[in-house]
């Protein structure tokens, strides 16, 4: 605020000199800006008060608007959709009794589950996927199956889907960023698919690869991550009855922003393990190099089991916000599925294998 | 103070009364929009997270703008940037306080949880330190404080703003999951502003050196 040359009152000199200049007859002050001969000539140097007021008002509005608008442009990232849209919710709990793996917690409304997504193939903002998913063509779609299987093949998504009866699963989903949802998926157990593929004796891991196509996935034009997105599970994890391949959500086909037409769901792991828009499933002998573990190995591990006791290096994992709630809830080990899956990791140091 | 280049800057002092109110109003506009967004559901599925992010970004943007005033004056000779520097700085402090309040609200005003976060998470430590550094600057933003402290000491104290904004940018950098471009842009702008200030601080000395150098060989 203060001018370094004039400690105390900023700009005092200047203001005084300008005022002085206005009173004395500088060459400039003799120029009058009266329009035609309508009025008498103004006193030299005295501004037309009306004009001055209009000019100041215009500059005031323009400046306030420019600063406010500029700040909005820089910082505001409006979400998609509005509160009204949340009213229509296609999924109804009453349709069927809960299965053994379902949670009875309140399901996240369709509107929220489909407008708040991490799907960097569309962009890094949570609203990018919902906004841009229209560019993803989910039919025709094939899935390549290869690696340590008896019969490698490329199969059409509709054929693949027809191999299994579709099931509902209501799972918790916990993002590594500290928020969670309850998602009513539609799909089939991953174990059923793996068994059908007849893995060879060498198969130890399952690797999933997502679609690579910058035309459909604008986010892939930026090297934010190493594309295509790759995820993987140990074979025994993949064969666990909770591991699921989803093709639908809320009783309808999976929207593009949620990973259409085929995505992985492993509810006891952080959300980024749930690879979306899968085009290839490979059984491997070696542990797959997964995308986030490659991007930041000190922050994201291969296992990525939800664990409140192991903080992310930059933030705590002890609590989470359930989308739609105001406060925070405590995060549970294995996202509340410890009874089912803790046995998979017996004897392992989960701090090391985070 | 009679300058040959007078015509474009005629009577700025007498005619700039609108400037500070305009900056104040423009700077507060995002608060109104944020409230409207919150009421209309436009903050999306995780409104608290969005509000936290936006108030943080507003703090950073306004801090950078306030720090751009002096370099702009040094480069152009304009005096109006000096008139809005304090307003921009105070707006930045207001948004920083709001950002912190939303964070506290998000954690149920649980001070033990906050203390643990501040001590254990470098990301939170950086942001919290930046906020603490802004407090004495906001408190000494009046002309009276300048007089009381003396200009030299006041200036030295307010050099903390560069530390605060750098910590703010670091806080932003550590907070994002992967796309580091936006925080790096802020960091580059801050570095540029700092550099201009360093280069322009003593205009007499470099000029003399530049003048003496060609004579040597």
Provide the 8-state DSSP code for A233. Answer: E
Tell me, letter by letter, the H, E, C secondary structure of chain B. CCCCCCHHHCCHHHHCCCHHHHHHHHHHHHHHHHHHHHHHCCCCCCHHHHHHHHHHHHHHHHHHHHHHHHHHHHHHCCCHHHHHHHHHHHHHHHHHHHHHHHHHHHCCCCHHHHHHHHHHCHHHHHHHHHHHHHHHHHHCCCHHHHHHHCHHHHHHHHCHHHHHHHHHHHHHHHHCCCCCHHHHHHHHHHHHHHHHHHHHCCCHHHHHHHHHHHHCC
Other Cβ atoms less than 10 A from the Cβ of A295: the count is 15
A175 known member of a binding site: yes
Per the domain annotation, does B205 fall within a domain? Answer: no
* Residue of chain A with shortest Cα separation from B73: A3
A138 falls within a domain: yes
Could A8 and B147 be called an inter-chain contact, meaning their C-beta atoms sit closer than 8 Å?
yes
Over range B117-122, report the average pLDDT: 88
Answer whether residue B212 is part of any domain: no
Please tell me whether residue A51 adopts helix, strand or coil conformation: helix
**What's the complex ipTM?**
0.84
In this complex, do B44 and A55 lie within 8 Å of one another by their Cβ atoms? Answer: no
Asked if residue A26 belongs to a domain, the reply is no
Which residues does B115 contact at the CB level (< 8 Å), separation at least 6?
A: none
Residue A5: inside a domain = no
**Nearest CA-CA distance, residue B192 and chain A, Å:** 19
Helical axes B122-139 vs B151-158, angle rounded to 10°: 160
* B26: nearest CB among A13, A67, A108: A67
Number of domains in chain A: 1
Answer whether residue B216 is part of any domain.
Answer: no
Contacts of B49 in chain A (CB under 8 A): 179, 321
| Residue B57, in any domain of the structure | yes
Kind and range of the H or E element at A330? strand A329-330
pTM tops 0.80? no
Q: What element of type H or E holds A248?
A: strand A244-249
pLDDT on residue A4: 45
**How many domains are there within chain B?**
1
Count CB neighbours of A350 within 10 A: 16
- The residue range of the domain holding A317 is 104-345
A8 and B146: CB-CB below 8 Å? yes
Question: What are the tens digits of pLDDT across the range A253-284?
Answer: 999 999 999 999 999 999 999 999 999 999 99
- pLDDT tens digits along A163-214: 999 999 999 999 999 999 999 999 999 999 999 999 999 999 999 999 999 9
- DSSP element (H, E) containing A168: strand A167-174
Quick: pLDDT tens for B6-40: 444 445 455 788 999 999 999 999 999 999 999 98
The answer, yes or no, to whether residue A44 has pLDDT greater than 60, is no
Give the CATH number of the domain where residue A207 resides.
3.90.420.10
Residue B162 in domain? yes
Distance between CA A162 and CA A246 in Å, rounded? Answer: 13
Domain extent at residue B50 = 23-200
Reported as a single tens digit per residue, the pLDDT across B73-115 is 999 999 999 999 999 999 999 999 999 999 999 888 888 888 9
Residue-wise pLDDT tens digits, A113-160: 999 999 999 999 999 999 999 999 999 999 999 999 998 999 999 999
CA nearest to A70 within chain B:
B26
Query: A275 a known binding residue?
Result: yes
The closest CB to that of B13, out of A15, A26, A71, belongs to A15
**Domain assignment present for A75:** no
């Amino acid at each position: 605020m203060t001018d370094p040359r004039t400690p105390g009152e900023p700009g005092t000199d200047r203001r005084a000199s300008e005022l002085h200049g206005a009173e004395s007859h500088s060459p400039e002050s003799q120029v009058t800006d009266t329009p035609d001969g309508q009025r008498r000539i103004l006193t030299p140097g005295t501004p037309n008060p009306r004009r001055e007021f209009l000019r100041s008002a215009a500059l005031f509005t323009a400046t306030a608007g420019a600063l406010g608008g500029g700040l909005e442009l820089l910082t505001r990232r409006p979400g998609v959709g509005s509160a009204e849209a949340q009213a229509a919710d296609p999924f109804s709990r009453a349709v069927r009794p809960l299965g053994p793996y379902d949670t009875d917690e309140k399901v996240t409304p369709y509107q929220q589950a489909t407008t708040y997504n991490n799907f960097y193939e569309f962009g890094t903002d949570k609203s990018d996927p919902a906004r841009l998913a229209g560019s993803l063509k989910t039919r025709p779609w094939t899935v390549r199956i290869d690696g340590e299987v008896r019969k490698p093949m490329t199969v059409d998504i509709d054929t693949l889907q027809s191999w299994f009866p579709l099931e509902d699963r209501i799972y918790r989903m916990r993002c590594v960023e500290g928020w969670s949802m309850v998602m009513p998926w539609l799909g089939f157990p991953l174990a059923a698919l793996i068994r059908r593929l007849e893995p060879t004796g060498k198969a130890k891991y399952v690797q999933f690869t997502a679609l690579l196509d910058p035309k459909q996935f604008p986010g892939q034009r930026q090297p934010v991550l190493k594309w295509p997105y790759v995820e993987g599970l140990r074979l025994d994890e993949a064969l666990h009855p909770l591991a699921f391949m989803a093709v639908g959500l809320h009783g309808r086909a999976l929207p593009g922003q949620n990973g259409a037409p085929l995505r992985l769901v492993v509810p006891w792991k952080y959300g980024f393990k749930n690879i979306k828009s899968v085009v290839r499933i490979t059984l491997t002998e070696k542990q797959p190099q997964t995308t986030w573990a490659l991007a930041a190995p000190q922050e994201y591990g291969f296992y990525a089991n939800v664990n409140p006791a192991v903080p992310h290096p930059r933030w705590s994992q002890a609590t989470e916000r359930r989308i739609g709630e105001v406060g925070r809830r405590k995060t549970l080990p294995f996202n509340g599925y410890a009874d089912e899956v803790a046995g998979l990791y017996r004897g392992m140091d989960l701090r090391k294998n985070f | 103070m009679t300058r040959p280049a007078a015509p474009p800057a005629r009577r700025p002092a007498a005619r700039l009364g609108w400037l500070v109110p305009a900056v104040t109003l423009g700077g507060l506009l995002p608060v109104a929009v944020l409230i409207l967004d919150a009421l209309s559901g436009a903050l999306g599925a995780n409104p608290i997270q969005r509000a936290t992010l936006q108030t943080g970004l507003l703090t950073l943007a306004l801090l950078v703008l306030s720090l751009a005033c002096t370099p702009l004056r040094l480069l152009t000779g304009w005096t109006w940037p000096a008139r809005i520097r304090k307003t921009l700085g105070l707006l930045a402090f207001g948004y920083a306080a709001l950002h912190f309040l939303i964070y506290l609200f998000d954690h149920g005003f649980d001070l033990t949880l906050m203390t643990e976060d501040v001590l254990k998470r470098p990301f939170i430590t950086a942001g919290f330190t930046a906020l603490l550094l802004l407090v004495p600057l906001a408190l000494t933003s009046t002309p009276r404080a300048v007089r009381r402290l003396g200009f030299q000491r006041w200036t030295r104290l307010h050099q903390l703003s560069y530390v605060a904004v750098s910590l703010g940018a670091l806080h932003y950098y550590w907070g994002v999951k992967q796309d580091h471009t936006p925080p790096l842009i802020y960091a580059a702008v801050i570095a540029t502003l700092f550099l201009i200030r360093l280069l322009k601080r003593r205009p007499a000395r470099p000029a003399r050196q530049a003048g003496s150098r060609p004579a040597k060989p």
